[in-house]
């Protein structure tokens, strides 16, 4: 048993040795990734009256799964390659599915700002797990201070400005948002602790999308969500964006970066996503900007610089 543990640790160290600290190129790509994720929330909300959020997630996952599977085949991946990593692949697929189920469910009870806050606790949970269980992913005291500053800035930026009714329902939605964040962090840990750490990004994404599509389409059908779709031009445009940009291009970029850089440093950039979501909401949906949002955004950026400098 001790020999097995030493072997696992040796493989983890070798895997980490191939990764490097985040640089200017990775920082720029992560900002683009977070921009896409921030716009994703607006895209879902803008057409929610014509297509329920769960139906959007189910359809975009299923369509993107077909595209990613075709890309995987083109890159030479076959069923035997997927069977070799089936265990961790199932885990990341279930984690990915759970994340969006909790988001869709929680939005029925809590505010969008609350959901964004609790969903993007994922980098904190992931950084803690990576620090404990993945050799080479440890953060310094200065970087932990940056994590705390970034999270505090995000909390300030996303804090609601008005009194909230139905506190019990809000609390339930907040708890579901926290579970969504934990699910996202768990998928990052599984990837870095398993053979998926060195797998082609297209293979990891294929596991996630195929499992999400297979599980969520029947659920959306049973709940009657698919029967409430009105195929307007806005719905088609939103689904096209979510499928091609978010579920295909952006997630492929994320897994590509995970293979090259330390996950603990990449994850901190995810704090930018809800801030970008508020900015896009203000620009495209007329939602207000507040002073505490601006102050929190400055603190968030300072935390990012502390972590990545």
Mean pLDDT by 10 residues, the chain (309 residues): 38 52 85 87 84 92 95 92 94 94 82 72 78 76 84 76 64 84 90 88 94 94 92 95 93 86 75 78 74 80 72
Q: Which two tokens stand for residue 199?
A: 């797998």
Q: Please provide residue 261's backbone torsions phi and psi, each rounded to the nearest 5 degrees.
A: -125, 165
Are 216 and 100 in contact, with CB atoms under 8 Å apart?
A: yes
What is the per-residue pLDDT for 167? Answer: 64
> Cα(106)–Cα(50) distance, rounded to whole angstroms?
19
Q: Which two tokens stand for residue 109?
A: 């009870």
Q: Which residue has the tokens 């029947």?
A: 218
Q: What is the pTM of this model?
A: 0.77
Q: Which two tokens stand for residue 254?
A: 């994320």
Q: Which residue has the tokens 């500053």?
A: 149
Other C-beta atoms closer than 10 Å to the C-beta of 2 total 6
What is the per-residue pLDDT for 72? Answer: 93
Which residues does 138 contact at the CB level (< 8 Å), separation at least 6? 130, 131, 264
Nearest residue to 32 via CA among 245, 242, 201: 245
């Amino acid at each position: 048993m001790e020999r097995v543990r030493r072997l696992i640790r040796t493989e983890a160290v070798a895997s980490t040795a191939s990764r490097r600290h985040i640089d200017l190129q990775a920082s720029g790509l992560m900002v683009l990734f977070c921009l896409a994720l921030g716009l994703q929330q607006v895209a879902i909300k803008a057409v929610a009256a014509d297509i329920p959020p769960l139906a959007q997630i189910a359809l975009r996952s299923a369509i993107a799964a077909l595209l990613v599977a075709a890309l995987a085949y083109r890159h030479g991946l076959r069923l035997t390659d997927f069977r070799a990593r089936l265990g961790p692949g199932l885990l990341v697929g279930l984690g990915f599915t759970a994340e969006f189920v909790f988001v869709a469910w929680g939005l029925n009870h809590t505010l969008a700002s609350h959901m964004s806050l609790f969903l993007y606790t994922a980098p904190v949970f992931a950084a803690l797990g990576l620090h404990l269980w993945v050799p080479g992913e440890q953060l310094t005291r200065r970087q932990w201070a940056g994590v705390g500053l970034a999270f505090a800035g995000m909390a300030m930026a996303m804090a609601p400005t008005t009194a909230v009714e139905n506190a019990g329902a809000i609390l339930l939605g907040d708890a579901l948002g926290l579970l969504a964040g934990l699910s996202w962090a768990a998928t990052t840990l599984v990837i870095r602790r398993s053979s998926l750490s060195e797998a082609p990004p297209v293979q990891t994404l294929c596991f996630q999308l195929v499992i999400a599509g297979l599980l969520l389409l029947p659920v959306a059908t049973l709940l009657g969500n698919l029967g409430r779709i009105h195929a307007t031009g806005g719905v088609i445009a939103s689904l096209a964006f979510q499928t091609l940009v978010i579920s295909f291009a952006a997630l492929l970029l994320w897994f590509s970066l995970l293979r090259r850089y330390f996950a603990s440093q990449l994850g901190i950039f995810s704090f930018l996503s809800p801030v970008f979501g508020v900015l896009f909401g203000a620009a495209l949906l007329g939602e207000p900007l507040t002073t505490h949002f601006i102050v929190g955004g400055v603190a968030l950026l300072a935390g990012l610089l502390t972590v990545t400098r």
